[in-house]
């Protein structure tokens, strides 16, 4: 469609990340004519599978699945479009500093925790139940548009009051103890929360890791308990809290989404970066691409990090100055360094020897033995630019999926925390990426001494590489820090928490909106719901 603006569409989506694709599929299912414009040659955003070394493919950015919403899977019939997700045999494997280890999942958590503390093992059930009760609240809210903070007439305020009342109703279902838990999880640090339950380091480290994943903070930073919660509301094939692997990698998810969207009539154009959103008066009316093509649409929907959208895609006078100023301070930077490695053989861990595929090789392997270690890593990174004793999660998807590497070989994802989103003293990540990559390999090698020699090829993504490749501002994997001031009704900004931008016809559908980052499909789903409502109410009119 749409050469030089000749064919207008109802909805134009900037970015074919998974949320852009989900949004597109829902809009098209509602009968709208939808075009998606993607900057890269491949759809999927941070959920893609690519060949990073000859013969070796991997999920090059996001690498493990759990949060993908079951309703989105059903509505888009993702299994019918080729998606198959398998569970890991174990959830996590964590070598300890004294040469022992703990594994969780696969029915082994209780016995494994008891190796370190029978008291902690006895408290596991209580911990799980309390967390689940609050995770349930989050699950209920994930596919809900947050009440929007509005100034204006009662007509506009009324629907928001109804939403707020619904939210209040959901919280009222919790008993007083659970409400206290809710408050704790939304405000406390993951470390303090876990210290209240457990005494032994290994289980606190396994659970606490979720509090600093994609969160450039100490596990003792207030608010990190929410990040922990954010990582447990998912499920794999109906099993709550589990993490799994999409056969073919994360790209299999977004390829299935793209097929679902195309089957509904969506036009997806890759290699089409958008340069600017076109504004007439107080309306967004289309976009101009980097090649100078103009495309017009009734609704312009952004899948981009909101800070990227509002600071780079508008003429300065097109947005209210206060709004623009606020968005220029929207906090981004998850402290993430990501590597993919092609392996000659599996890591042979000193604490659990063996080079043949064993259960622990299928787990999320956490190399960070204690919460204190994680805290030190954060402060070191703040001071030095990266932690010299870093946190690495190693995931080896080829142990569950033989489509990724040649027979007998393997691919591994190294998901590394903490590195500074931007380096001190104005230094560039391009200067230090190889040094830090060596450090990450050495860190794994300290636990599995055959690792370094097994590496046949590696792909490095510093925060700057993540920004350049995927458009992730400061390399932020979540499209903005998951802190209270940037969550729920305040994501990305109070007054704009309902997927609408500050101009008529302008919407947001990416991870910078509720419920935030992760491959959930939820922002895309919720945005589509709001946009379809606006078309039905005539707030935006079909042009196609």
Ligand X SMILES: Cc1cc2nc3c(=O)[nH]c(=O)nc-3n(C[C@H](O)[C@H](O)[C@H](O)COP(=O)(O)OP(=O)(O)OC[C@H]3O[C@@H](n4cnc5c(N)ncnc54)[C@H](O)[C@@H]3O)c2cc1C
Residues of this chain that bind ligand X (CB under 6 A): 14-20, 37-40, 45-47, 61-64, 67, 273-274, 303-304, 336, 338, 466, 470-472, 477-479, 510-511, 517-519
Q: Which residues contact 56 (CB under 8 A, 6 or more apart)?
A: 340, 342, 404, 405, 406, 409, 411, 456, 457
Name the phi and psi angles at 327, rounded to 5: -70, -25
Give 170 or 468: the residue with its C-beta nearer to ligand X.
Answer: 468
Give 306 or 505: the residue with its C-beta nearer to ligand X.
Answer: 306
User: What's the closest the beta carbon of residue 50 comes to ligand X, in angstroms?
Assistant: 13
User: What's the closest the beta carbon of residue 176 comes to ligand X, in angstroms?
Assistant: 33
Give 58 or 336: the residue with its C-beta nearer to ligand X.
Answer: 336
Residue 279: which H helix or E strand, with range? strand 274-280
**Dist. CA 241–CA 25, nearest whole Å:** 27
**Dist. CA 180–CA 200, nearest whole Å:** 24
User: What's the closest the beta carbon of residue 226 comes to ligand X, in angstroms?
Assistant: 16
Dihedral of the alpha carbons of 481, 482, 487, 493, in degrees to the nearest 10 = 0
**Dist. CA 113–CA 104, nearest whole Å:** 8
The answer to whether 37 touches 301, Cβ cutoff 8 Å, is: no
The answer to whether 209 touches 366, Cβ cutoff 8 Å, is: yes
Give 15 or 347: the residue with its C-beta nearer to ligand X.
Answer: 15
User: What's the closest the beta carbon of residue 376 comes to ligand X, in angstroms?
Assistant: 23
**Dist. CA 46–CA 247, nearest whole Å:** 17
User: What's the closest the beta carbon of residue 106 comes to ligand X, in angstroms?
Assistant: 20
User: What's the closest the beta carbon of residue 21 comes to ligand X, in angstroms?
Assistant: 8
The answer to whether 120 touches 106, Cβ cutoff 8 Å, is: no
* Among the listed residues 145, 149, 150, 185, the one whose alpha carbon sits nearest the alpha carbon of residue 167: 145
Give 188 or 313: the residue with its C-beta nearer to ligand X.
Answer: 313
User: What's the closest the beta carbon of residue 17 comes to ligand X, in angstroms?
Assistant: 2
Q: Using alpha carbons only, give the angle 333, 338, 339 rounded to the nearest 5 degrees.
A: 165
User: What's the closest the beta carbon of residue 47 comes to ligand X, in angstroms?
Assistant: 5
Give 213 or 225: the residue with its C-beta nearer to ligand X.
Answer: 213
Query: What string of DSSP letters covers 358-387?
Result: -GGGGSEEEE---HHHHHHHHHHHHHHSEE
Q: Which two tokens mark 466?
A: 């993540």
Give 14 or 454: the residue with its C-beta nearer to ligand X.
Answer: 14
User: What's the closest the beta carbon of residue 355 comes to ligand X, in angstroms?
Assistant: 25
Give 385 or 480: the residue with its C-beta nearer to ligand X.
Answer: 480
Give 200 or 513: the residue with its C-beta nearer to ligand X.
Answer: 513
Give 64 or 474: the residue with its C-beta nearer to ligand X.
Answer: 64
User: What's the closest the beta carbon of residue 100 comes to ligand X, in angstroms?
Assistant: 27
CA of residue 167 relative to chain centroid, distance = 24
User: What's the closest the beta carbon of residue 306 comes to ligand X, in angstroms?
Assistant: 10
Strand-pair partners of 174: none
Exposed / middle / buried, residue 238 (Cβ in 10 Å: 0-12, 13-18, 19+): exposed
Give 336 or 399: the residue with its C-beta nearer to ligand X.
Answer: 336
Query: What string of DSSP letters covers 425-462?
Result: GG--HHHHHHHHHHHHHHHHHHHSTTHHHHEEEEEEE-
Q: Using alpha carbons only, give the angle 110, 113, 117 rounded to the nearest 5 degrees.
A: 120
The answer to whether 412 touches 395, Cβ cutoff 8 Å, is: yes
User: What's the closest the beta carbon of residue 309 comes to ligand X, in angstroms?
Assistant: 9
Strand-pair partners of 506: 300
Give 113 or 368: the residue with its C-beta nearer to ligand X.
Answer: 368
Give 182 or 531: the residue with its C-beta nearer to ligand X.
Answer: 531
CB atoms within 10 A of CB 543: 16
* Among the listed residues 436, 391, 394, the one whose alpha carbon sits nearest the alpha carbon of residue 208: 391
Exposed / middle / buried, residue 514 (Cβ in 10 Å: 0-12, 13-18, 19+): buried
* Among the listed residues 70, 46, 64, 62, the one whose alpha carbon sits nearest the alpha carbon of residue 362: 64
User: What's the closest the beta carbon of residue 316 comes to ligand X, in angstroms?
Assistant: 17
State the angle between helix axes of 201-212 and 190-197 in degrees (0 to 180), rounded to the nearest 10.
150
**Dist. CA 477–CA 48, nearest whole Å:** 14
User: What's the closest the beta carbon of residue 419 comes to ligand X, in angstroms?
Assistant: 12
Give 471 or 492: the residue with its C-beta nearer to ligand X.
Answer: 471
Q: Which two tokens mark 46?
A: 């941070």
Exposed / middle / buried, residue 163 (Cβ in 10 Å: 0-12, 13-18, 19+): middle
């Amino acid at each position: 469609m749409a050469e030089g603006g000749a064919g207008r569409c109802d909805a134009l989506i900037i970015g074919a990340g998974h949320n852009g694709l989900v949004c597109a599929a829902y809009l098209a299912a509602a009968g709208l004519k939808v075009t998606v414009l993607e900057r890269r040659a491949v759809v999927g955003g941070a959920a893609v599978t690519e060949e990073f070394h000859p013969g070796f493919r991997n999920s090059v950015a996001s690498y493990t699945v759990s949060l993908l919403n079951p309703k989105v899977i059903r509505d888009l019939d993702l299994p019918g479009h080729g998606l198959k997700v398998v569970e890991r045999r174990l959830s996590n494997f964590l070598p300890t500093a004294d040469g022992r280890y703990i594994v969780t999942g696969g029915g082994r958590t209780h016995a494994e925790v008891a190796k370190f503390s029978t008291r902690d093992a006895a408290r596991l059930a209580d911990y799980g139940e309390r967390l689940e009760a609050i995770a349930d609240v989050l699950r209920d809210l994930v596919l809900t548009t947050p009440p929007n903070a509005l100034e204006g007439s009662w007509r506009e305020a009324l629907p928001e009051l109804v939403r707020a009342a619904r939210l209040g109703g959901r919280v009222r279902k919790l008993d007083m103890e659970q409400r206290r838990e809710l408050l704790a999880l939304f405000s406390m640090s993951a470390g303090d929360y876990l210290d209240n339950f457990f005494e032994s380091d290994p289980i606190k480290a396994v659970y606490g890791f979720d509090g600093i994943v994609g969160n450039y903070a100490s596990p003792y930073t207030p608010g990190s308990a929410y990040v922990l919660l954010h990582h447990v509301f998912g499920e794999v094939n109906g099993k709550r809290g589990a993490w799994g692997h999409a056969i073919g990698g994360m790209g299999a998810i977004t390829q299935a989404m793209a097929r679902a969207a195309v089957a509904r009539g969506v036009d997806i154009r890759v290699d089409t970066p958008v340069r600017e959103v076109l504004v007439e008066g107080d309306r967004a009316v289309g976009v101009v691409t980097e090649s100078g093509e103009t495309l017009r649409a009734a609704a312009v929907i952004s899948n981009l990090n909101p800070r990227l959208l509002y600071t780079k895609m508008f003429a300065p006078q097109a947005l209210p100055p206060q709004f623009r100023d606020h968005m220029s301070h929207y906090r981004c930077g998850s402290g993430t360094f990501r590597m993919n490695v092609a392996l000659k053989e599996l890591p042979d861990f000193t604490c659990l020897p063996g080079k043949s595929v064993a259960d622990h090789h299928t787990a999320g392997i956490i190399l960070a033995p204690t919460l204190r270690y994680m805290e030190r890593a954060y402060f070191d990174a703040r001071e030095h630019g990266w932690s010299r004793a870093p946190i690495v999660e190693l995931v080896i998807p080829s142990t569950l999926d033989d489509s990724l590497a040649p027979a007998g070989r393997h691919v591994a994802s190294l998901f590394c925390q903490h590195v500074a989103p931007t380096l001190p003293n104005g230094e560039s990540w391009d200067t230090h990426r190889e040094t830090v990559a060596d450090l990450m390999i050495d860190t794994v090698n300290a636990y599995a001494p055959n690792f370094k020699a097994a590496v046949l090829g590696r792909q490095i993504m510093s925060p700057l590489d993540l920004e350049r490749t995927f458009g992730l501002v400061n390399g932020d994997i979540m499209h903005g820090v998951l802190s209270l001031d940037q969550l729920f009704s305040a994501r990305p900004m109070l007054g704009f928490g309902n997927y609408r931008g500050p101009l008529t016809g302008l919407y947001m559908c990416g991870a910078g909106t509720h419920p935030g980052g992760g491959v959930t499909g939820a922002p895309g789903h919720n945005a589509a719901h709001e946009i379809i409502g606006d078309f039905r109410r005539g707030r935006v009119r079909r042009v196609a």
